[in-house]
Copies of this chain bind each other. A is one copy, B any other.
Amino acid sequence: MGTAVPGSVRQLSLQGRALAADRALLDRISTAERVADVLRTRIAEGFFPPGTRLAEDAIGSGLGVSRNTLREAFQLLTHERLLTHELNRGVFVRVLTVSDVADLYRVRKLVECAAVRGIDTPPHGAKRVADAVVEGEQAKKQLDWQGLGTANLHFHQALTALAGSPRVDELMRRIFAELRLVFHLMADPRRFHEPYLATNREILGRIDNGDGPGAEQLLAAYLDKAQQQLVDAYAQRTTDG
């Protein structure tokens, strides 16, 4: 994308002024948020891998927005911990450390286990969990390993939703977004994500039976194992580099 043909620039064109009338009626989203959306997607997809520098000039002119607006988008993503600011050097796609991974899993364990343990009977919101399991199984059928990873995140998002707390949901949305940064480390997404499909279905079964503690136990074991895999991947990467 270094060679920006006129057409591709047009595709990303976010000229605010010209579309003001449309925007007022259709979407009330600010240009900065749309820019943030674009960058967020690029980051989640690994198009801008961790460590990439996002130059104001290049991105701004590429997207056809002013520096101010772009910086506003950067600010949003920095608050989401997807970018880091280095003074007078610019913004970079966040590079997570091993201790970041540890903290992410500390939070996941604390929140997800509590949400699963405290399910009411009959469990409300279990449908979303079931949907996510099906989504993962279909992704597997289609050999869509990237989609399998996404389905897995949806599964755990559905688990946290069992807590019934908007603030917890928001917290975990951010946690999972950070987690995506880490997943790009895994060389083989299939090997990483596929084994958990069976576990997910098992957890769902226990939830449906109202067995919170049982589900929690499986979940805790899963989280420990996944974290260990990521830590190992980090260690290997450090050795390689």
Which residue numbers of A lie inside 8 Å of B, CB to CB?
28, 79, 87, 103-104, 106-107, 110-111, 114-115, 163-168, 171, 175
Contact = CB atoms under 8 A, between A and B. Distances in A.
Copies of this protein, total: 2
B111 A110 contact: yes
Given A79-B79, A114-B114, A171-B171, A165 B107 contact: yes
Given A28-B87, A87-B28, A114-B114, A107 B175 contact: no
18 contacts: A28-B87, A79-B79, A103-B165, A103-B167, A104-B167, A106-B163, A106-B167, A106-B168, A107-B167, A110-B110, A110-B114, A110-B115, A110-B163, A110-B165, A110-B168, A114-B114, A167-B171, A171-B171
A107 B168 contact: yes
A167 B179 CA distance: 13
A11 B165 CA distance: 41
Name the residue in A28, A110, A114, A115 with the highest tally of chain B Cβ atoms < 10 Å from its Cβ.
A110
Given A28-B87, A110-B110, 7 more contacts: A79-B79, A103-B166, A104-B167, A106-B163, A107-B165, A167-B171, A171-B171
Contacts of A166: 103
A167 B163 contact: no
A43 to B, nearest CB: 19
A175 B166 CA distance: 12
Contacts of A115: 110
A10 to B, nearest CB: 29
Nearest to A168: B107
Nearest to A115: B110
Nearest to A105: B165
A115 B107 CA distance: 11
A99 B115 CA distance: 19
A223 to B, nearest CB: 14
Contacts of A163: 106, 110
Contacts of A165: 103, 106-107, 110
Nearest to A163: B110
Nearest to A99: B166
Given A79-B79, A114-B114, A171-B171, A106 B164 contact: yes
